[in-house]
Amino acid sequence: MKKFYIFAATTVFLLFPVSQFAQSKKEKSKKGEAAVAPPEKKPESTIKEYSKVITKDAVSDEGLFTVHKVDKKYYFEIPNKYLNKDMLLVSRLSKLPSNLGGGYVNAGSETNEQLVVWQRFQDKILIKSKSYNSVANDSLPISISVKANNYNPTLFAFDIVSFSKDSANVVVDVTKFYSTDVKAISGISPEMREVYKVKGLDESRSFVNTMKSFPMNIEVVQDMTYNASKPSMLEETESISVQMNQSMILLPEVPMKPRLADPRVGWFTMSQYDYGSNELKSDLKTYIRRWRMEPKDPEAYARGELVEPVKPIVYYLDPATPVKLRKYIKQGIEEWQKPFETAGFKNAIIAKDAPTKEEDPDFSPEDVRYSVIRYVASTTRNAVGPSVSDPRTGEIIESDVIWYHNHLRSYRNRYLLETGAANPSARTLQTSDEEMGEMMRMVIAHEVGHALGFPHNMGASCAYDTESYRNGDFTQENGIAASIMDYARYNYIAQPGDKNIRFIRKMGAYDHYALNWGYRVIPNAKTTQDELPTLDKWIVEKAGNPVYKYGKQSSSFDPTSQTEDVGNNSMKASSYGLKNLEYVAAHLNEWTSNVTNNYDDLDELYKELLDVWSRYVGHVVTNVGGVYENTKNPNQSGNVYEVVPKAKQIEAMNWLQTNAFASPTWIVNVTTLKNTDFAGYTERFRGIQVRQLNSLLSLGRIGRLMDNEILGADTYKALDLFKDIRKGIWKEAGTAANVTIYRRNLQRAFIDRMGFLMTEEIKPTDRSATYYNVSQSDVRALVRGELSALRKTLSVAKATAVNTETKYHYEDCIKRIDLILNPK
């Protein structure tokens, strides 16, 4: 150790020029003592008197923090009592250019949500992002390690520029934080930056628009313009401008008791790793997102009486809402009163008009204390029900349901197309206010359901027998799905002549069950863990009844959890649907252009009719290679995953050959096409047919069918799929029949898809990637075998083809097959 220090000292000496040391020695000998360096001049303090920062010209807004605007600068005056307090920072796009994010991003879309704290460090205030992904009780020793191994990043460091006169508050300049490109609160994601070739923020065109402070939150609106080589619109500008809304919300001082989630009941959730658990690992705990609902009278509640909550959920209507729609929106909100009564609460959710300026001059939709149904003048056809929740417990703090005006158009069109055959009142472009109001009522109920904590339940529309949808009494009582949270909008099964049919969805039994499961207070349960036996009991009591099944939207392989379907038999339901659609197609001109004397609505509705056709076909496709998912615990009988029976898969395949892959007759309406476009008639139908063919021959589906080989002989296998498709799509080749232009297009698409299967791999983002290696599987062997068999068939068929187009087509197909089998 001594040698090291001697060496180090020598090294330091050699690093400096000799003249430096000589000068020091000379100075020393001259004065007889070591030279004393002059005292360093202290930098002028950046902390100034309050009046010199927050001048008499300041425009101030008091609230959570007092916000000051002085000239072009913005300041936060932060009370010391709010330092180190948990707050939520929510970033949303409030305005954006057309097609940003490929059209999947809308005004109101959340871009980030993070828990933050404001901390003082010397003469700075730090805003730090704080994670609750890993937790441990502060009383446990392991909490020290949790904090050390989850150090929170600093989003921004602010110089303290002043203190309030009583020193109770610190003042910081936040202008730069909100007007520069801080990635953590940006509306332009890393993916967008790459796609649109974003070079950076142009600070000369970026600025704070407004800052407002409320008792529990601060709202900041920013205008941000980025330099981008390939913007989503107006490419010549090489710019992307977005308007961001930054909400900073103070979280409750006393966190709500969380409730553990169960995958058998559908809830939006949040998760934490609990290192203080008694498990032999970090214990992943998942909690549901819900509002704090506590009874005013706990004793009466425990006795089973209906009790009002301490704090009901109140939604205010946007003053911009059209007057004729207001009562329906209120009804949609208060549809949830009955399910809350099932959970023991009365008057738990209330709809109100927003107060006028005279009634409450301080009311603002931006105040986090108020939840609002916002009515947005936009061409977007959508409605959303986002909410803000406490990441510590899952408590929902606030929610703004957004209704975009043109969404009314979506529902009018779907109503006409899907129910027009059996529902005379839908055969018009001027849907009655009453019917439109009923649709809107249920859409609002659906979106409020999201805001209460519920995700989509795609299994609810499969709870009822398909034939029940033609029974008037049944539909009036049950609607068309067991939950309002399914994407089951209309009864497209009912046929002309069926009486007393309800065509529009409504609340269902599952909504009562799920809300009771999540919101009912369990009086004797002191802790979250104490609730588990009761919660499990409620689930087991309903197990096996499809009315109470939760079907995840992500279960794309499960034919009982599909979007936009109704009924428990896809083939039967889609047959009814196509039969109705054929009637509508035949009368579409009569109901549109003949009335309006122009072709705009006809064109729009015909294009949407093709999408409806494709949707009905897609519901059947899911049965092939399908797997039923019935989430359950080990103490329940049966398996979680069950393959769709072979007979049902064969039925689906036969249905597709007859209805999806045959040459169209009624759907390609020549009269409509000749009045709405000059070309592309065959291409339109080719596109929707090929979409379903490619879905049928998807790598994931083939992989699931290959798995079936281990299940025994009586299962539908990948080889069965390939053979059945080949024989069905190429049946003309075995009969010397001419091939229509539609079938020629489809047959070439089949060969292209087989070429794709010979070369492509599963993308890492594909869920199939977790269980399936394409290149080392049977896929390529099956494709090669099927193409070889097809080539032999076509070699014979071309010699007997009567039609020249058919002969040339077969010759071309043989060449295409050769290029796939022998690419060199």
Q: Higher pLDDT residue, 36 or 353?
A: 353
Separation of first and last alpha carbons in the chain: 71
Q: Provide the whole-model pTM.
A: 0.86
Q: Which helix (H) or strand (E) holds 246?
A: strand 239-250
Find out whether 514 and 508 touch, Cβ atoms under 8 Å. no
Which of 337, 348, 343, 346 minimizes the C-alpha distance to 313?
A: 348
Instruction: Classify residue 309 by its DSSP letter.
Output: B
- What is residue 582's predicted lDDT score, i.e. its pLDDT? 96
DSSP per position, 545-611: -GGG----TT-TT-TTS-TT--SS-HHHHHHHHHHHHHHHHHHHHHHTHHHHSSSHHHHHHHHHHHH
DSSP per position, 400-447: EEEEETTHHHHHHHHHHHHHTTT-GGGSSSS--HHHHHHHHHHHHHHH
Q: At what angle do helices 433-452 and 323-334 cross, to 10 degrees?
A: 40
pLDDT band, residue 362 (cuts 50/70/90): confident
Which residue bears the tokens 């599987």? 777
Q: Which of 454-468, 524-538, 703-717 has the lowest mean pLDDT?
A: 703-717
Q: Which of 96-100, 431-435, 464-468, 648-652 has the lowest mean pLDDT?
A: 96-100
**How many CA atoms lie less than 13 Å away from 444 in the CB half-sphere?**
30
pLDDT band, residue 735 (cuts 50/70/90): confident
Is it the case that residue 351 has pLDDT exceeding 80?
A: yes
Which residue bears the tokens 């379903």? 692
Q: How many angstroms separate the Cα of 254 from the Cα of each of 82, 130, 250, 257, 292?
A: 14, 18, 12, 9, 11
> What is the per-residue pLDDT across 223-241, written as a single tens digit (0 to 9) for each?
999 999 988 888 888 899 9
- What is residue 674's predicted lDDT score, i.e. its pLDDT? 87
Q: Across the chain, which distance is largest between two alpha carbons, in Å? A: 120
pLDDT band, residue 137 (cuts 50/70/90): low
Is it the case that residue 31 has pLDDT exceeding 50?
A: no
pLDDT band, residue 4 (cuts 50/70/90): very low
pLDDT band, residue 33 (cuts 50/70/90): very low
- Rounded CA-CA distance 538/517 in Å is 7
> What is the per-residue pLDDT across 479-521, written as a single tens digit (0 to 9) for each?
999 999 999 999 999 999 999 999 999 999 999 999 999 999 9
For residues 707-723, average pLDDT: 89
Find out whether 206 and 224 touch, Cβ atoms under 8 Å. yes
Encode burial over 191-204: b for 16+ CB neighbours within 10 A, e otherwise: ebbebbebeebbee
> What is the per-residue pLDDT across 596-655, written as a single tens digit (0 to 9) for each?
999 999 999 999 999 999 999 999 999 999 999 999 999 899 999 999 999 999 999 999
For residues 359-388, average pLDDT: 82
Report the percentage of the chain scoring pLDDT > 70: 89
For residues 519-540, average pLDDT: 96
pLDDT band, residue 28 (cuts 50/70/90): very low
Is it the case that residue 14 has pLDDT exceeding 70?
A: no
Q: How many angstroms separate the Cα of 273 from the Cα of each of 161, 395, 700?
A: 39, 18, 32
- Return all residues near 18 (Cβ < 8 A) that are at least 6 apart: none
Is it the case that residue 27 has pLDDT exceeding 90?
A: no
pLDDT band, residue 680 (cuts 50/70/90): confident
- Rounded CA-CA distance 688/520 in Å is 47
Q: Please give the radius of gyration of the chain, using alpha carbons only, rounded to the nearest integer.
A: 33
For residues 69-86, average pLDDT: 95
pLDDT band, residue 153 (cuts 50/70/90): confident
- What is residue 768's predicted lDDT score, i.e. its pLDDT? 67
Q: Enumerate helices (H) and strands (E) in the chain, giving the number of each.
A: 25, 23
Ramachandran sector of residue 811 (left: φ over 0; alpha: ψ -120 to 50; beta: rest): alpha
Q: Which helix (H) or strand (E) holds 721?
A: helix 718-729
- What is residue 782's predicted lDDT score, i.e. its pLDDT? 97
Q: Where are the beta strands (DSSP E) in 12-152?
A: 59-61, 66-70, 73-79, 87-95, 110-121, 124-130, 134-135
Is it the case that residue 139 has pLDDT exceeding 80?
A: no
pLDDT band, residue 8 (cuts 50/70/90): very low
**Residues pairing with 201 in the sheet:** 226
Is it the case that residue 94 has pLDDT exceeding 50?
A: yes
> What is the per-residue pLDDT across 264-293, written as a single tens digit (0 to 9) for each?
999 999 987 765 555 544 568 899 999 999
**Residues pairing with 60 in the sheet:** 68
- Rounded CA-CA distance 100/93 in Å is 11
Q: Which of 423-437, 620-634, 769-783 has the lowest mean pLDDT?
A: 769-783
> What is the per-residue pLDDT across 300-323, written as a single tens digit (0 to 9) for each?
999 999 999 999 999 999 888 889
Find out whether 214 and 368 touch, Cβ atoms under 8 Å. yes
- What is residue 19's predicted lDDT score, i.e. its pLDDT? 39
Is it the case that residue 527 has pLDDT exceeding 90?
A: yes
Q: Which of 184-188, 216-220, 724-728 has the lowest mean pLDDT?
A: 184-188
What dihedral do alpha carbons 457, 463, 467, 469 form, nearest 10°? Answer: -50
| Average pLDDT of the chain, as a whole number | 88
Q: Is 785 exposed, middle or buried (0-12, 13-18, 19+ CB in 10 A)?
A: middle
Find out whether 268 and 452 touch, Cβ atoms under 8 Å. no
- Return all residues near 635 (Cβ < 8 A) that are at least 6 apart: 540
Is it the case that residue 3 has pLDDT exceeding 50?
A: no
- Rounded CA-CA distance 647/653 in Å is 10
Encode burial over 39-75: b for 16+ CB neighbours within 10 A, e otherwise: eeeeeeeeeeebeebbeeebeeeeebbbbbbbeeebb
- What is residue 62's predicted lDDT score, i.e. its pLDDT? 95
Which of 174, 138, 151 minimizes the C-alpha distance to 246?
A: 174
For residues 368-373, average pLDDT: 90
- Rounded CA-CA distance 773/324 in Å is 57
Is it the case that residue 10 has pLDDT exceeding 70?
A: no
- What is residue 12's predicted lDDT score, i.e. its pLDDT? 37
- Rounded CA-CA distance 814/526 in Å is 73
